[in-house]
Amino acid sequence: MDILKRNQSDTGVLTLTLNRPERKNSIDLPLAGELLEALDSAAENTSVRAVVITGAGDAFCAGGDLAGEGGGLSLLALMRQISRPALALHRFPKPTLAKVNGTAAGAGWNLALGCDLIVASDEARFCQIFARRALSLDYGGSWLLPRLVGLHRAKELALLADWVSAEEAEKLGLVNRVVPAAELDAFSDDWAKRLAQGPPIALSLSKRMLSEASFRSFEEAIDVEATSQVVNITSHDAREGFKAFFEKRAPKFEGR
């Protein structure tokens, strides 16, 4: 059985499905390796325009699975290896969408938070479950949470480790949309297709600027925006965008 299913549509959407339903799609060393390789490959593959991450069965991802084969690594080396997909996702230059179909706990929730957009089923639930296991945050949670919800709310989620419903997560700004379970696939497919049809260069630059905004002063942000616009304006896609506007048709962006 493939522990990571890969399916690429003719619209340029690559769907990566964590496929360990018997373990609630928890991330062990082999799955981490598969996910890392898939993200690295997709980053270089020009036919991939957007990536969707989801889980098989009734869970998105229940977190890290440290009970499996460690490959002879020390615990520190094992943790670093298992966490490499989180870093690859953070650096990923193309739009990403988490389709959360069920439980997202611990590293699984933080994997979703590392995506650009999150669409959740109304049956999904979330938990920074680490404290319940005498563990601390991982998979980027300590960096992501305070930036997304502020320091005190992040501490509440991490230190109390309460379960959060999809609706509560949406109110906190940790989910973009909550939809009925029966509509999750169609809604996510629509958003992913729209991302894939967008201008790759411009989306990549906007994504990077937003992700790095907290490190920059306003003056620096203005300068980076200006530089990025020069890149955009000299691209084929910008010319196509303006031409399509004047011709009153939908643009066809090619990523060049």
Fold of 4-196: 2-enoyl-CoA Hydratase; Chain A, domain 1 (3.90.226)
Distance, in Å, from the CA atom of 29 to the CA atom of 187, rounded to the nearest integer, reads 31
The confidence score (pLDDT) of residue 13 equals 98
The confidence score (pLDDT) of residue 3 equals 96
The confidence score (pLDDT) of residue 70 equals 66
Q: With a cut of 50, which residues of the chain have pLDDT below it? A: none
pTM tops 0.85: yes
What Rg do the C-alpha atoms of the chain give, in angstroms? 19
pLDDT tens across 226-243, in order? Answer: 999 999 999 999 999 999
The confidence score (pLDDT) of residue 69 equals 65
* Tokens 């909550």, residue located: 178
Among 140, 166, 167, 134, which Cα is nearest to 154's?
140
- Under CATH, which architecture does the 199-246 domain have? Orthogonal Bundle (1.10)
For the chain, where are the E strands, in sequence order?
Answer: 4-8, 13-18, 50-55, 59-61, 96-100, 103-105, 117-121, 125-127, 164-165, 177-179
Domain ranges for the chain: 4-196, 199-246
Burial class (CB in 10 A: 0-12, 13-18, 19+), 190: exposed
Distance, in Å, from the CA atom of 68 to the CA atom of 135, rounded to the nearest integer, reads 18
